[in-house]
Amino acid sequence: MESAAELHQARILRGQIESLEVHLESARAAGARAAVPVLEAGLEKLRDELRRVLACRADADFERRRAQWRLETRKERRGSRACA
């Protein structure tokens, strides 16, 4: 269930980033200089959060694959010992 929640959170963050990028571009085009730093800071915060979510997901995937590899390696060792 964690992976589904993390993927959902990543999708939401991507959508928020895209929306904020559009607002930032329109603020720049309109010459709203006061709003640009605030929007840039918000955008950077969302990007950092997205990186964190994706890194956590990658770590979880790595740990899952590593545990699976260890299990398979143990099975292979047990099988080779039985034949010897």
At 83 the pLDDT is 57
For 42-66, write each residue's pLDDT tens digit: 999 999 999 999 999 899 899 999 9
Mean pLDDT of 58-83: 84
Mean pLDDT of 24-32: 93
With CA atoms as reference, report the closest residue to 32 among 21, 41, 23.
23
Mean pLDDT of 25-41: 93
Total number of domains constituting the chain: 1
Residue 80: band (very low, low, confident or very high) from pLDDT cuts 50, 70, 90:
low
At 6 the pLDDT is 86
Residue with tokens 């730093």: 37
Domain hosting 65: range is 2-83
Instruction: Decide if pLDDT at 82 tops 80.
Output: no
